[in-house]
Amino acid sequence: AQETVKMGVSIPAATHGWTGGLNWHAQQAEKELEERYPTLDVVLVSASDAARQANDLEDLVSIHNIDALVILPFESAPLTDPVRQVKDQGKFVTVVDRGLTDPGIQDLYVAGNNPEMGQVSARYIEEKLGGEGKIVVLRGIPTVIDNQRVDAFMKEIEDSNIEVLGMEYANWNRDDGFRVMQDFLARFPEIDAVWAQDDDIALGVIEAVQQAGREDEMFILGGAGMKDIIRRVMDDDKLVPADVLYPPAMIAEAMEITARHLVEGEPIEKEYILEATLVTPENAEQYYYPDSPF
Amino acid sequence: MADPLLSAEGISRRFGPVQVLFGVDFDVRAGEVHALIGENGAGKSTLMKILAGYLEATEGTLRFAGRPYGAGGAEDLGIVLIHQEFNLAEHLTVEENVFLGRELRRGFLLDRRAMRERAHQVLGELECPVDPAARVRDLSVSERQMVEIAKAASRDLRVLIMDEPTAVLTKSESAVLFRLIRRLKDQGVAVVYISHKLDEVKEISDRVTVLRDGHLIATQSTGDLDQDAMAQLMVGRAISDMYPPKDPPPADAPVVLSVEGVTVPGWVRDASFDLRRGEILGFAGLVGAGRTELMEGILGLRRRTAGTISRDGARVRIRNVGDATAAGIAYLTEDRKGKGLLLGKPLRENLTLLALGRFGRVLIDERAEEAALERAVRDFDIRVRDPGVPAGALSGGNQQKLLLAKTMQVEPSIVIIDEPTRGIDVGTKRQIYLFLHDLARRGIAVVVISSEMAEIIGLAHRVVVMRSGTITGILEGAAIEENEIVRHATGLKGTDRNAVVSA
Amino acid sequence: MQSSAPDTARRPSAGLDLKVYGPFLALAALILLGVLVNPVFLSPGNIINVLTRTAFIGIIAVGMTFVITTGNIDLSVGSMAAFAAGVAIVAMNALAGPLGSGWAVVLAGVAVALAFSLAAGFLNGILVTKGRIEAFIVTLGTMGIFRSLVTYLADGGTLTLDSTIRATYRPVYYGGLFGISYPILLFFAVAAVGALIMYRTPFGRYCAAIGSNEDVARYSAIKVDRVKLLAFVFQGLCVALAVIVYVPRLGSASATTGLLWELEAIAAVIIGGTMLKGGHGRVWGTVAGAVILTLIDNILNLTGAISVYLNGAIQGVIIIVAVLLQRSGASRR
Amino acid sequence: MQSSAPDTARRPSAGLDLKVYGPFLALAALILLGVLVNPVFLSPGNIINVLTRTAFIGIIAVGMTFVITTGNIDLSVGSMAAFAAGVAIVAMNALAGPLGSGWAVVLAGVAVALAFSLAAGFLNGILVTKGRIEAFIVTLGTMGIFRSLVTYLADGGTLTLDSTIRATYRPVYYGGLFGISYPILLFFAVAAVGALIMYRTPFGRYCAAIGSNEDVARYSAIKVDRVKLLAFVFQGLCVALAVIVYVPRLGSASATTGLLWELEAIAAVIIGGTMLKGGHGRVWGTVAGAVILTLIDNILNLTGAISVYLNGAIQGVIIIVAVLLQRSGASRR
Ligand SMILES: Nc1ncnc2c1ncn2[C@@H]1O[C@H](COP(=O)(O)OP(=O)(O)OP(=O)(O)O)[C@@H](O)[C@H]1O
Ligand SMILES: Nc1ncnc2c1ncn2[C@@H]1O[C@H](COP(=O)(O)OP(=O)(O)OP(=O)(O)O)[C@@H](O)[C@H]1O
Ligand SMILES: [Mg+2]
Ligand SMILES: [Mg+2]
């Protein structure tokens, strides 16, 4: 019989909607891959902060003695070194979404593109507003990801007449989205658009706007591709005319590719960049997964 | 003879390895006051806690009106114990404490007015001026004791057990208490009364039971005993002359401590006195006179707004107990449980806490501590079978001894002792008097605050009398006698400060 | 300790009075600040929003006041809320078939939320009293348990209430009487009842007595364990009530629902003048404390002035200053 | 109060003994569990890993033991750590120019971390003692302050240590003596010193005295405020030491660094048998508590079996059971 191959998967714990989706897709992929490849053993661990994720990497190597690692780093910088250590022990390393500070480490990079996500969002808002208007921005949790998105966004609208009235952290969380938006609404008599950057936040924002009865005044752009939002886009809801994809499913894709490479020895290219697709009523159907929790 | 309302047969109790009660029989009849006396650690409180259901007896049976009852039932039978150690919730108000566990209510809600009125009335009967809405933690020990009594008195009583109620009371308050006891007696309540003050026992009780080292020594009717007989039964030997002969220091003895115009806001106004080397200076006064507060002011434990303090003629700044200790002044608080001892900590840690610096600057020399503890147990005759127990496990009197030992650890040249013999048995009392006497002879200056007139008269070379915050007189020589002191304490005499009265 | 701080000894009431009024002074000061920052602050809309938001934490904090008064603490309230909300949503979605999407199903959901929260509170209480474990540990444990149960329930994602049921339920958060939203009304109802229980019933006194000195309480024939247990159950009830007005707001629960609510609730209680060590409960103070916390947040959002990064710092400073203000007041007396 | 509880008074030694040994029993039980789950558990590699990562929380928890023993609490340690780490990194990167990337610059960084943590601890201490504010509130406030200062410092992102300096600094985490990593050595050094201070020096006694009855402490010539202040400063020192071994590991600090460490540290202390009310400090117990907490994580990783969502639940259960085990032991006596 063929000796089994062990693939360790390390991801952030489900601390907000997107990571929740991430966990779900990872577990789906685990089940499915282990069925497809009897010789493959997937070990999935999730960590609630960078330090813990580093711990998990140590454990995956020292205890489970994995052959390959698929990691979605909590944060880029702090995990670069721990991942390098895994690499140095001759493991195959797949990095997902957040690039390490030293790209030399990874054998495979499956990336969502945060700057692009900000860019696409900015472009959409810019043209929908015809190049000028007042908007508010709700940011995520203070992290590199959030910065990349916001910086790209700001850079994109730099030379337009779009004015950013206010910016607050909403921690990729519905309640905070609701809270912050309520206050924005109280503070600004006139808002043309809201960039919520994330669909969880967006859902909170929607409620706040509806409560204030100002649906017709503005539109909201979220991000990620949560089913409820895609649904609204499909039913072309004026308040949520579009969404920008940043699918948590990318983890499944990464696991899949890695597994195929490990078991079937299928050749791979070094990078798979999933570009941040703009979802509009036209193409919404194809991105709608009703049975995903996310 | 009426048969007993409450009776205990063959009560034994052990705490882990140590047995503290050995098959003790005890009973009390309705309408009788039965006094229980014995040395510190004899087992009085333990026995009473068993009667009142706070402790289980290891062996023996309890009967109420002939029917056996268990620890649980005591409360409902109307058996109430006034603890030797305070048993009040400090954060709660007087009224809340008095009714704790048996609040008066209207429907679901508390009937607060009724309770306030009732509390007011009970406290009134006890002639205790405290406001039912005051927080217990703001009261003095004496007031707390009165609140305890009020708490007990406000219940429908069948048996009232009082464990050294007068230890923290002054004469006048005790008189009030006695009136209460007599009234209860007439109502057919059975009263058990523990005290080390044998004159009180003689005055109030009908029968006396004596415990020694957990054994029943005798139960006799009070009429057949005089105080010396009682003392002899307690201690097992005769006790002669309580107080050693005074030998005051020479008139030209140097003044070691001189207090000028000290004012403690809310408590003491413009108090001044001198303390000479080798002198025992007594402080007399009624509760609230502010003696404690004056001393605490001097020690920097309370805010002073005016006044200077000099050691050996030189002014010293005393902002806290640390400074005082550095100046060779030590203070023994009247509030043993609240400010004196860490009841949860072992004897050793309590003993050395004040003088810890002397047991190694960097690391504590635990061997030295052990040695100190052995010495203290010997010198102060602390009765404890297992030195490992926490201070809270000591009998009341033995806690007092431990506190005294703790205070002396800093080898002060000035000792201020607030209520030195509070809760101490006659035998040990005498030891302590000798000890103080001896300190003075060794040239140490001693201040004794006491609410026991006899103690002041028997010990002090000079007596400072205070009344509601001011010093009303300083008595010397023959002037040190009861009437004179009372007159000053009650304001009948001497208000011009530092009028030195002698005869 | 602070108890017989010598200088307070003579005037028993003073210190306490300030513990009572302090939080309200702080609140007033904060309102003043808000007005200065941005006049919109006083607009009825904003006031209603803020108070409505306060409701969750506020209601939970009222329960917390009792737990803390007995000398315990409950770290699990946040995840308990998430858990109850999650279970209620699942139940309602499941029952939508048989019961339709009318009030029947909503009431069923409410019942489920109540049942679970009360059970959770009971669990905490039993472990603390019978298990004789520090409340801190017990509730730290149950915090983790409830939290991950809801994560499990939601498959890591979000549990969303069926939109038709939501439509029925929605008014419970967004509707109101005479322009005052139901959550606010519930909040003050709970506070009023809480105050009544704390100050006017034996139970309230027993909580304080136990927190102040457990032995004394026991000697006074108070069923200490039962009272503590009841306090935790009451906390559970309050959580349930908070959940009942929380669910209709966004109609969803997830792993992040109620994150750190425990900290806010405890902070509200302490800012309100209740002592963390127990022995003293101030229900109205807690209400003030809760409002203070939301106000800080609201005021920060109303001013664009400061870097978003510094919000936390300013919050911290305001909290400390607010309390410092009370204390210094106390010593001035 | 608890001190005078007659029943505890009666068998003082027994209760204490178990408070002392309980945590170690729990630890032993947990190790057994680990071995059963997966023999690899006992491999030197794994042991070293676990202990090394315990170091951060463990060192901080030793400081926390003192703060809690005095009857206070410090919620700010987590963000204090993040802050100190951030400042140290910024300083090192800045000094790389003048000092090069050798040990000189690392030492400078260490010095900065120390300075800031000590200052932070001092701030907490002063606010608690001079400001007479509940430690809970003070440190809740400073927690927010430090946290958002580091966010500000990092512009919401991550502060990363210059890689060449990192290269120099790295061995401090990954290197060691005789196969025992430096963090472990430091951890046990700190614990040993902490134990010495707690059990053998006047300061330790004073902390316990203050925690059990502040009045008695004051009447016993103890400078209460100074001792409390020192406890907070010592906590700061411990945080600094933790940071010094943390930075070389991840070489960065961000808004999320040290999140919830305070909770873990406190849990470690309480699991270790120290009373939250103060008066009793058990340094070695704290060490055991810290190890227990990391072991739980590690054991969960040993088995790929359970759904990742349930980790929290299992952690919770284990914590409670571990402590329950101690207590029930106590009652058996
Ligand atoms: N909880 C306890 N654990 C261990 N020993 C105890 C405990 N309580 C009391 N003892 C011991 O029992 C003995 C009797 O104590 P008790 O308090 O009954 O004496 P007492 O007669 O009341 O003395 P006093 O007159 O000083 O109050 C003492 O030796 C005391 O040390
Ligand atoms: N007339 C009064 N006005 C105010 N307080 C009073 C009065 N009478 C009694 N007190 C109470 O008595 C307490 C002072 O009693 P305390 O016993 O400390 O006085 P003292 O002079 O030290 O006498 P002793 O040393 O006998 O206790 C104060 O705390 C106060 O609460
Ligand atoms: Mg006694
Ligand atoms: Mg006095």
Please report the pLDDT score of residue D315 as a whole number: 81
**Residue spans of beta strands (DSSP E) within B312-438:** 314-315, 329-332, 414-418
Task: Round to whole Å and give the CA distance between C133 and A273.
Answer: 52
Residue of minimum CA distance from atom 12 in ligand 2: B288
Cβ-in-10-Å burial (0-12, 13-18, 19+) of B70 comes to exposed
Q: Are B2 and B34 in contact (CB under 8 A)?
A: no
Question: Looking at residues D200-207, what average pLDDT do you find?
Answer: 94
Kindly tell me if the per-residue pLDDT of B241 is higher than 80.
no
Please state, for a pLDDT cut of 90, what percent of chain B lies above it.
39
Q: Are D153 and D90 in contact (CB under 8 A)?
A: yes
Distance from CA of A237 to the nearest CA of D (A): 33
Kindly tell me if the per-residue pLDDT of B490 is higher than 90.
no
Q: Strand A278-279 relative to strand A243-244: parallel, antiparallel, unpaired? A: antiparallel
Pairwise pLDDT comparison (D327 vs A54), residue with the higher score: A54
Please report the pLDDT score of residue D328 as a whole number: 55
Closest CA to D234 of D89, D120, D145: D120
- Candidate of B86, B142, B335 to mutate for ligand 2, largest count of ligand atoms within 8 Å of Cβ: B142
**Tokens, residue D90:** 């910024």
Please report the pLDDT score of residue D306 as a whole number: 66
User: Which phi and psi (to 5°) does residue B194 adopt?
Assistant: -105, 130
**Tokens, residue A9:** 């998967």
**Tokens, residue A110:** 């499956």
Cβ-in-10-Å burial (0-12, 13-18, 19+) of B500 comes to exposed
Statement: the pTM of the whole predicted model exceeds 0.90: no
Ligand 1 binding residues, C-beta < 6 A: B 15, 18, 20, 38, 40-46, 84, 383-385, 389, 393-398, 423, 425; D 6, 9-10
Please report the pLDDT score of residue B162 as a whole number: 92
Pairwise CB contact (< 8 Å): A15 & C158: no
Kindly tell me if the per-residue pLDDT of B273 is higher than 50.
yes
Which residue is listed with tokens 């009372």? B486
**Tokens, residue A31:** 């089940």
Contact status of A58 with chain D (Cβ, < 8 Å): yes
Pairwise CB contact (< 8 Å): C279 & B100: no
**Tokens, residue D227:** 């001792």
Residue C13: its H or E element: helix C12-37
Pairwise CB contact (< 8 Å): B344 & D202: no
Task: Round to whole Å and give the CA distance between C291 and D71.
Answer: 28
Amino acid code (one letter) for D330: A
pLDDT tens digits, D258-270: 888 998 999 999 8
Q: Strand A278-279 relative to strand C176-177: parallel, antiparallel, unpaired? A: unpaired
Which residue is listed with tokens 């009560």? B11
Kindly tell me if the per-residue pLDDT of B109 is higher than 50.
yes
Residue B176: its H or E element: helix B171-186
pLDDT tens digits, B357-394: 888 888 999 999 999 999 999 988 888 888 888 998 88
Residue of minimum CA distance from atom 25 in ligand 2: B292
Residue B13 DSSP code? E
Pairwise CB contact (< 8 Å): B321 & D220: yes
The chains found to touch C (3+ Cβ pairs under 8 angstroms) are A, B, D
pLDDT tens digits, B167-211: 878 778 888 899 989 999 998 999 999 998 888 899 999 999 999
pLDDT tens digits, C81-114: 999 999 999 999 999 888 877 888 999 999 999 9
Question: Looking at residues D126-155, what average pLDDT do you find?
Answer: 91
User: pLDDT-based confidence at C14, cuts 50/70/90?
Assistant: very low
pLDDT tens digits, C38-52: 888 888 888 998 999
**Tokens, residue B207:** 């029968």
- Which of A193-202, B122-131, C37-46, D115-124 ranks highest by mean pLDDT? D115-124
Kindly tell me if the per-residue pLDDT of B36 is higher than 90.
yes
Please report the pLDDT score of residue A172 as a whole number: 86
Q: Most D CBs within 10 Å: which of A59, A60, A101, A102, as the mutation test of the D interface?
A: A59
Which residue is listed with tokens 């960084």? D109
Q: Are A139 and D255 in contact (CB under 8 A)?
A: no
Interface confidence (ipTM) of the complex: 0.86
Q: CA D157 → CA A77, A140, A145, distances in Å? A: 10, 11, 8
Please report the pLDDT score of residue D327 as a whole number: 64
Angle between helices C311-332 and C261-271 (to 10 degrees): 20
Task: Round to whole Å and give the CA distance between A198 and A171.
Answer: 10
Please report the pLDDT score of residue B502 as a whole number: 46
User: pLDDT-based confidence at B395, cuts 50/70/90?
Assistant: confident
Please report the pLDDT score of residue C196 as a whole number: 94
Paired strand residues for B257: B275, B311
CATH fold of B6-235, please? Answer: Rossmann fold (3.40.50)
**Residue spans of beta strands (DSSP E) within A105-250:** 108-112, 132-139, 161-169, 193-195, 219-221, 243-244
Kindly tell me if the per-residue pLDDT of D310 is higher than 90.
no
CATH of domain B253-328+416-503: 3.40.50.300
Picking from A168, A211, A293, the nearest residue to C156 by CB comes out as A293
Please state, for a pLDDT cut of 70, what percent of chain B lies above it.
97
- H-state helical runs in chain D: 6-10, 12-37, 44-69, 77-99, 103-129, 135-153, 163-169, 171-174, 182-200, 202-212, 214-219, 224-250, 261-271, 283-302, 311-332
3-class secondary structure, D30: helix
Lowest mean pLDDT among A97-111, A196-210, D99-113, D207-221: A97-111
Give the DSSP per-residue string, C255-323.
Answer: TTTTTTHHHHHHHHHHHTT--TTSS---HHHHHHHHHHHHHHHHHHHH---S-GGGHHHHHHHHHHHHH
**Helices vs. strands in chain C: H and E counts, helices first:** 15, 4
User: Which phi and psi (to 5°) does residue B247 adopt?
Assistant: -130, 95
Average pLDDT of chain B, as a whole number: 88
Question: Which residues from chain A sit within 8 angstroms of residue C308, using beta carbons?
Answer: 139, 167-169
Please report the pLDDT score of residue B2 as a whole number: 67
Please report the pLDDT score of residue C41 as a whole number: 87
Count other C-beta atoms under 10 Å from residue A278's C-beta. 17
Domains and CATH numbers, chain C: 18-31+41-331 (1.10.3470)
Question: Looking at residues A27-48, what average pLDDT do you find?
Answer: 88
pLDDT tens digits, A268-287: 888 888 878 898 888 888 88
Average pLDDT of chain C, as a whole number: 86
Please state, for a pLDDT cut of 90, what percent of chain C lies above it.
45
Lowest mean pLDDT among B316-320, C271-275, D14-18, D160-164: D14-18
3-class secondary structure, B368: helix
**Distance, CA B66 to ligand 3 centroid (Å)?**
27
pLDDT tens digits, D275-299: 888 888 999 999 999 999 888 888 8
Question: Looking at residues A223-239, what average pLDDT do you find?
Answer: 88
B473 lines ligand 2 (CB under 6 A): no
Closest CA to B38 of B163, B194, B162: B194
Closest CA to A35 of A263, A267, A294: A263
3-class secondary structure, A105: helix
The domain ranges of chain B are: 6-235, 253-328+416-503, 334-411
Lowest mean pLDDT among B11-15, B267-271, D322-326: D322-326
Give the DSSP per-residue string, D129-163.
Answer: HTS---HHHHHHHHHHHHHHHHHHHTTTSEEE--H
Nearest CA in chain D to C6: D215
Please report the pLDDT score of residue A114 as a whole number: 86
